[in-house]
Structure 1
Amino acid sequence: MCFGAAFPEYYFSIPPEERDDRVELTESLCVVDETHFFIRGRVEIPIIDSDELFCWNVWVSVSEDNFRRTNEVWNDPQRVNEPAYFGWLQTQLPGYADTLNIKTMVHTQAVGVIPRIEIEEGHNLAEEQQAGITWQRVTELVEIAMHE
Structure 2
Amino acid sequence: MTNDAGFTCSCCGAQHPELPMAYSTAAPYVWDESFSDRSDCLLSSDQCVIQAQHYFLKGMIEIPVIGSDAVFSWGVWVSLSCENFIRAADRWDAAGRETEEPYFGWLSTDLSLYSPSTINLKAHVHTRPVGRRPLIELEPTEHPLAVEQRIGITLHRVREIAETVLHPAADNA
Fold match (TM-score > 0.5): yes
Show the counterpart of 1:19.
36
CA distance in 2, matches of 1:30, 1:60: 10
Where in structure 2 are there 5+ consecutive unaligned residues? Answer: 1-20, 169-173
List structure 1 runs of 4+ shifted beyond 3 angstroms: 16-19
1:56-135, aligned counterparts within 5 Å? 56-97=74-115, 98-122=117-141, 123-135=143-155
The answer as to whether partners of 2:63 and 2:72 remain within 8 angstroms in 1 is: yes
The SS at the match of 2:110 is coil
Say whether residues 1:30 and 2:42 are aligned partners: no
Q: Identity across aligned pairs (percent)?
A: 43
Q: TM-score, normalized by length of structure 1?
A: 0.94
Q: Which has the higher helix share?
A: 1
TM-score, with length taken from structure 2: 0.80
Please list every run of 5 or more consecutive structure 1 residues that lacks an aligned counterpart in the other structure.
none
How many positions carry a matched residue from both structures? 145
Q: CA deviation at 1:4?
A: 1.6
Between Structure 1 and Structure 2, whose CA radius of gyration is higher? 2
Once the two structures are TM-superposed, the CA of residue 89 in structure 1 deviates from its matched residue by: 0.4
Cα 1:104/1:52, change in 2 over 3 Å: same
Give the CA RMSD over aligned residues.
Answer: 1.1
- 1:94–1:144: 8 Å Cα contact kept in structure 2? no
Relative contact order: is structure 1 or structure 2 higher (C-alpha 8 Å, sep ≥ 6)?
Answer: 1
